[in-house]
Amino acid sequence: MRALVARLIQALLDIVAAVSGTYYSRKYAAIARRLGLARGTASNRRGFIAIQIDGLAYEHLVTAMEMGYCPHLQRLLQRGEYNLEPWHSGLPCTTPAAQAGIMFGNNDDIPAFRWYDKRSGESVVCKLPGVVMALQERIAAGSRGILVGGSSFVNMFDGDAARSLFTLGSFNRKHFFESVRGLEFLLLFALNPFRTIKVAILAGWEYLTDIYQRLSMALRREHPRTLEPGVAFLRVISNVIFREIQTFAVMVDIYRGVPSIYTTYYGYDELAHKYGPTSRIALRALHSIDTRIHQIDTLRRLALTREYDLFILSDHGMTSAKPFRHLYGRSLGEVLCALIGGDPYLNESGDAEQQGTMHVYYLVEELAAIERNVGLPLAYIPRTLRRLVSRRIAMSTEEARPLDLLRRSDLVVRNSGSLSHVYFNVSPARLHVSEIAALYPNLISGLADHPGIWLVIGREDEQVVIMSRDGVLTLNGSPAYAVEGTDPLARLPAPWLAAAQIERLARFSNAGDLILLGEYDVESGRLVCFEEQWACHGGLGGPQEVAFMAFPAALRWSLRHVTQASDIYPLFARRYLADWRPLRPTPEATPAAEPIADHAAS
């Protein structure tokens, strides 16, 4: 009897799967035709879908699952279909460095989210399309991206994708609605009118929710800057508009049988920066992302054209923080000026990664594409929307003019979370610690003694010098580990690994004359952030260093010895790129890497 019931249930499930497959096949066939996209031929070769949740630490994902905010991912793990492992994202733990490493296996000379080129006077900010395209051209030289022949949606880099949309590394290459004509672009969502209604309701709800939350926090005086203009609008774009469009685009390409798909959801990261990584606001955004992952996974399992492996991962984590200015009444740059004396000219920048602002770029470009491809009078609609969006969000001078025209600035400070690069324009060459001490006698000791600063890092000939208020660590590229006083890195679970990563960062050609890391309190788990953020990443200390990956259990991968994002690349390349051969040695077990998993689970 039990066997008969089991067969009946299986038969019913097969019928449901067949009906679902037919429904989705017809639905996405119509969508693909309207977008001018051809369906791929059936393939026996497995493809992959990588879904990146920006800024979600392993530790915070575990917390979110325990609180019920990631039910689909939790079910995948509980059923034994998937393994979840932490991995060390490396230094700097930022999206540009992580995605460059994952997609191309090369994140050399990306010292932060923003930095400065002393030789050219150019300020490099990784939210400007031209900057990211130039970076991609450099890191991709001699390396095949993991998305060859595939698609990239809402990413920093494109991984050599054949179709790359809403991606800074291939900005302006192609637009999502480029092939749509006349009224047909309106029919894309009309095939499922509930989606249109849902997006409208979600957008309105998100906007009102954001205003209510920020007003409440302002009245309770919990956070400064809670009434910034435009924030609610950016939140709607990131957490609703782009979340729905990219999910829609991924599902279309699953139907088409594209060999590889990579997309990044930024909504959690945006809110975690403002409200904290385990705040209800951020975790609700994460729950919405989990729901979209469920939708994608459901379609993937139908195998309409090919079978796919699904990967869910993050690029780095997030550590709770307090802003430097909020604690000490001055910015880091102003403190530097006071220690230098003599009223130096200060050029300081740093203000969150602002993925929402990047999404405005994308949205304006897509509206322009629609405007070009529809006739009057319908073209007035996207034209009006494009103008309204452009006016609603005023781009900062950092975004509008990456070139620092004041190249004679005495002091240039580029802040990225708890990491800051400091440049002195007395020379186009990089200054040694001894030269800085001679020019500014009180500076280094004053910085090391400041309660908001943990580490002061510089170069002296071929040595890297790491200074704190309690000791000095000198590194020279060998196993030698010379400490005077107390080891500045002793508070970390893997000081040897941290030392190796600091040394690598300090040897980048565009690293600052001095590199500063914000104070990290182990007991409270809180950092001092050089930007106006209540959770941050970029430097060292806490969950920001430990990302995660959920992958099919059948792969039997181990990430225990991954020490930076570029170590992830060979895992994908070896499995999904035909005839791939490593250009550099693949990671091996090292004593420094051993504590990573233990730290992540703690």
DSSP letter string, 306-351: S-EEEEEE-S---EEEEEHHHHHSS-HHHHHHHHH-S---EEEE--
Return the number of other C-beta atoms located less than 10 Å from residue 490's C-beta: 12
CB atoms within 10 A of CB 341: 11
CA gap 498, 546 in Å, rounded: 13
Band (383; pLDDT cuts 50, 70, 90): low
Q: How far is CA 118 from CA 8, 361, 459, 539, 590, in A?
A: 72, 28, 16, 22, 36
User: How far apart (Å, rounded) are the C-alpha atoms in residues 417 and 536?
Assistant: 5
Q: How far is CA 276 from CA 37, 262, 304, 385, in A?
A: 41, 26, 40, 32
What's residue 599's pLDDT?
39
Average pLDDT of the chain, as a whole number: 81
* pLDDT higher than 90, residue 334: yes
Between 133 and 102, name the one with better pLDDT.
102
Average pLDDT value for residue range 263-277: 92
3-class DSSP state of 498: helix
For residues 266 and 372, the model is more confident at 266
Domain definitions of the chain by residue range = 2-106+143-318+548-601, 323-351+407-536
- 238: which DSSP letter? I
Whether 464 has a pLDDT exceeding 90, the answer reads yes
Provide mean pLDDT across the span 317-336. Answer: 96
Least confident of 86-95, 283-292, 476-485: 476-485
b/e sequence 381-395, b meaning 16+ C-beta within 10 Å: ebbeebeeeeeebee
Question: Distance between CA atoms of 329 and 72, rounded to whole angstroms?
Answer: 44
User: According to the model, what pLDDT value does residue 308 have?
Assistant: 96
330, amino acid identity? R
Out of 143-152, 219-228, 241-250, 480-489, the most confident range is 143-152
The residues that bridge with 153 in the sheet, in sequence order, are: 165, 263
363 vs 292: which has the higher pLDDT? 292
pLDDT digits (tens, 9 = 90+) for 24-45: 556 566 666 655 666 666 667 8
pLDDT greater than 80 at residue 270:
yes
Q: How confident is the model at residue 466 (pLDDT cuts 50, 70, 90)?
A: very high
Give kind and range of the element (H or E) at residue 551. Answer: strand 546-552
Q: Are strands 514-518 and 453-460 parallel, antiparallel or unpaired?
A: antiparallel
pLDDT band at 240 (very low <50, low <70, confident <90, very high): confident
Residue 10 clears pLDDT 60, i.e. is over it = no
* 285: three-class secondary structure by DSSP: helix
Residue 386: pLDDT band (50, 70, 90) is: low
Indicate the DSSP class of residue 133: H
What pLDDT does residue 164 have? Answer: 82
Rounded CA separation 397/531 (Å)? 17
Q: What percent of the chain has pLDDT above 70?
A: 69
Which range, 67-81, 123-137, 350-364, has the best average confidence (pLDDT)? Answer: 67-81
Query: What average pLDDT does range 259-277 have in this prediction?
Result: 93
Q: What is d(CA 309, CA 21) in angstroms, rounded to the nearest whole number?
A: 18
**Edge to edge, what strands does the sheet with 308-313 contain?**
82-88, 546-552, 308-313, 47-53, 260-265, 151-153, 163-165
Mean pLDDT confidence for 561-571: 95
Residue with more model confidence, 422 or 202: 422
DSSP 8-class letter at 165: E
Position 152 pLDDT exceeds 50: yes
Cα–Cα dist 174/372, whole Å: 13
Report d(CA 7, CA 308) in Å as an integer. 27
pLDDT of residue 184: 44
pLDDT at 205 over 80: no
Q: Please give the structure tokens belonging to residue 122.
A: 């150019």
What whole-number distance in Å separates Cα of residue 351 and Cα of residue 471?
31
Burial of 195 per CB tally in 10 Å (0-12, 13-18, 19+) = middle
Domain boundaries 2-106+143-318+548-601, CATH class: alpha beta
SS3 content of the chain, % helix, strand, coil (to 5): 45, 20, 40
Separation of alpha carbons 26 and 20, rounded Å: 10
pLDDT for residue 504 is more than 70: yes
- Report CA 300 to chain centroid distance, whole Å: 24
pLDDT for 163: 86
Instruction: Say if residue 297's pLDDT is above 70.
Output: yes
Helices (H), 461-520: 495-506
Contact in structure between 29 and 244 (CB atoms under 8 Å): no
Q: Report whether pLDDT(124) > 80.
A: yes
> Is the confidence at residue 500, as pLDDT, over 80?
yes
Structural contact between residues 96 and 156, judged by C-beta atoms closer than 8 angstroms = yes
- pLDDT value at 416 more than 80: yes
Which of 172-176, 182-186, 415-419 has the largest mean confidence?
415-419
Q: What DSSP character marks residue 40?
A: P
pLDDT at 379 over 90: no
CB 145 within 8 A of CB 137: no
Q: How many residues does the chain have?
A: 602
Please check the confidence at residue 102 and state whether its pLDDT lies above 70: yes
Which of 182, 140, 196, 200 is closest to 164 using CA atoms? 140
| Contact call for residues 425 and 398 (beta carbons, < 8 A) | no
Partnered with residue 515 across adjacent β-strands are 421, 457
**pLDDT for the residue numbered 403:** 39
DSSP helix/strand/coil, 534: coil
The pLDDT tens digits of the residues spanning 547-557 come to 999 999 999 99
- Cα–Cα dist 384/371, whole Å: 10
